[in-house]
Amino acid sequence: MKLKSIPALHPYFLAVCPILFLFSRNIGEVRYGAIVIPVAVVLAASFLILSILKKLIRNSEKAAILTSAGILMFFLYGPLFDRTIAGLTIGGYVIGRNRVFFLLWCILGLLIAWAIIRTRRNLKAITTFLNATSFILIAISLVSIVSFELKAVGHRNHACDWTAVVTRLCEDTDVTGSPPNGPLRDIYYIILDEYARCDVLKQHYGYDNSPFMNYLESRGFYVAYRSCCNHLDTYYSLSSSLNMNYIQSLVPEMTVESMKHKLVTKMIGNNTVVHILKKYNYRHVFFPTIWKVTARNEMADTVCTPLRINLSEFEEILINSSVLRIIGAHRFAQTKRNMTIYTLDELGNIPRMKEPTFTFAHVMIPHPPFLFDADGNRPRSSPLSKRELSRNEYIDAYTDQIAFLNKKLSATIDRILTLSDVQPIIIIQADTGPGFRVPASMDTLVSRGERRFKDYMLMIRVPIFNACYFPDGGDSLLYESESPVNTFRIVFNHYFGAHMELLDDQTYDSVLSGNTIRFDVVATPQ
């Protein structure tokens, strides 16, 4: 009796698997709608490729296995590259680059295709195995998604309760009546992602940033030369500064589930500072990024963005894990370039708005990828992955991006100050210090084992750039070690008549303890 042929569904299952897996790992931070287009595209592409191969080799099972092999190689390219030869250096020369790995990957793909086409084995068992395995992989992701949603019934209340917390925080600031110290001023809060402090740049990166510091001081800025971040992650850092308190004081029981359910995103978007300023009819101007946390803001009155944002962060990660990283990463890098230039240019036009404004702009540089050389052009060698850079290449690219940012930001500041009828309040801070490449001066720490990362954090990631323009005596309340958690406390105290006590300037690291996120104090470097 002749057995019925087994339908080869594995190409479609395997095509969807990476998308569902990535979504399940980021559920709570990515909307369901984000997977619709990627799923539709991969299913259509799989159907087209499978149909073509069936006609070419006239064997449905081989065509399906070839398609599945191609899908696996397509999506596994990025993860395998990053975990094998990325950044591999021999004799001071980086051989772990995409072009080398891509050539090897193509050769491997051709060998696999040749083996599949040439085989004379019965492939029904392999088809059954691939069907079952791919189905199980999809089921695992679906179980994670369903489990998350079932738990959401209880934990979504954390985000809902945040509104009540903000209301209480606003009441505690004791900001009432008209500001006693002059008219309402435009307020700019500009975050420079992973911008190192001046002394760190000098000591560990060999870069003298004093000309930019001198420029800022000549324009009336106070530079906090001993400032440190309050939390080592951007999530917590922005939540802390915009709510004027440490995370453990704002949310005493921070859990993994509450994090996944966008609590921190809620804390950044629906924050205390904006709530208070809206009492004074401030217009909240928001510059979105492609990073999920600052991609949108529910409190914004005006959203300033280029006409077109091509890809989301979810799509970038998906592309970066596939062979398309070679092509798609360049397109995504151009999107980031456009958004960065647009933000820095458009900030200079905010003074034209009639109402008092609170502007939030998260500038995603000098954080990698490195999109600008010192003159603002594309770097000559712009690797697709930061891991492809040698230590010296990384330091050069990082400091070049700082040099460009300094020039662009100087022009923006000049324009803001020139066009403003009333002297504005300008806060320019880093969220954290750099977080990837260990400088040459850290090499001696390798032998210290577990202490290496902690020493690295203390020396590189904890110190941050922090400069404030507080006119009419506001700068007299600033001090060298002032940190972001106290910045808006000073603003509201001096310009709005509040009486908020300043907190101790501390830095906290988040530590996972079971299902709870604990915050441990980190010694701040002197």
Are 276 and 218 part of one and the same domain?
Answer: yes
pLDDT in tens, 125-153: 888 899 999 999 999 989 888 887 776 65
Phi, psi of 210 (to 5 degrees): -65, -30
Give, as one character, the DSSP assignment of residue 231.
B
Question: Is residue 336 assigned to a domain?
Answer: yes
pLDDT in tens, 196-214: 999 999 998 999 999 999 9
This prediction's pTM: 0.77
% residues pLDDT > 90 (the chain): 38
pLDDT in tens, 384-400: 555 567 778 888 899 99
- Give the residue numbers spanning the domain of 97: 10-144
Question: Is residue 206 assigned to a domain?
Answer: yes
Which of 129, 144, 159 marks a domain boundary?
144
Are 270 and 360 part of one and the same domain?
Answer: yes
Phi, psi of 504 (to 5 degrees): -65, 135
Contacts of 254 (CB under 8 A, 6+ apart): 247, 248, 263, 516, 517, 519
Are 238 and 294 part of one and the same domain?
Answer: yes
How many structural domains are present in the chain? 2
Question: Is residue 209 assigned to a domain?
Answer: yes
Are 249 and 345 part of one and the same domain?
Answer: yes
Domain at 305, CATH number? 3.40.720.10
How far is it, in rounded angstroms, from Cα 390 to Cα 396?
10
Q: Is the pLDDT of residue 61 over 70?
A: yes
Mean per-residue pLDDT, 429-457: 62
Is the model more confident about 97 or about 525? 97
Question: Is residue 161 assigned to a domain?
Answer: no
How far is it, in rounded angstroms, from Cα 88 to Cα 23?
30
Question: Is residue 409 assigned to a domain?
Answer: yes
Are 323 and 427 part of one and the same domain?
Answer: yes
Amino acid at 75: F
Report pLDDT for 286: 94
Question: Is residue 149 assigned to a domain?
Answer: no
Question: Is residue 412 assigned to a domain?
Answer: yes
Report pLDDT for 92: 57
Are 461 and 518 part of one and the same domain?
Answer: yes
Are 267 and 230 part of one and the same domain?
Answer: yes
Q: Which H/E stretch holds residue 189?
A: strand 187-192
Contacts of 373 (CB under 8 A, 6+ apart): 379, 380, 400, 401, 404
Q: How far apart are the first and last CA of the chain?
A: 82
CA atoms within 13 A on the CB side of 386: 17
Which of 127, 144, 161 marks a domain boundary?
144
Q: Is the pLDDT of residue 51 over 50?
A: yes
Are 291 and 340 part of one and the same domain?
Answer: yes
How far is it, in rounded angstroms, from Cα 393 to Cα 380?
12
CA atoms within 13 A on the CB side of 375: 4
Report pLDDT for 403: 96
How far is it, in rounded angstroms, from Cα 231 to Cα 193?
14
pLDDT in tens, 401-438: 999 999 999 999 999 999 999 999 999 999 999 975 55
How far is it, in rounded angstroms, from Cα 435 to Cα 457?
8
Question: Is residue 331 assigned to a domain?
Answer: yes
Q: How far is CA 512 from CA 71, 366, 515, 524, in A?
A: 36, 28, 7, 21
Residues in the chain: 526
| CA angle 175–220–425, rounded 5-degree value | 30
Tokens in use for 349? Answer: 């036009």
Report pLDDT for 120: 83
Are 190 and 272 part of one and the same domain?
Answer: yes
Is the model more confident about 161 or about 237? 237
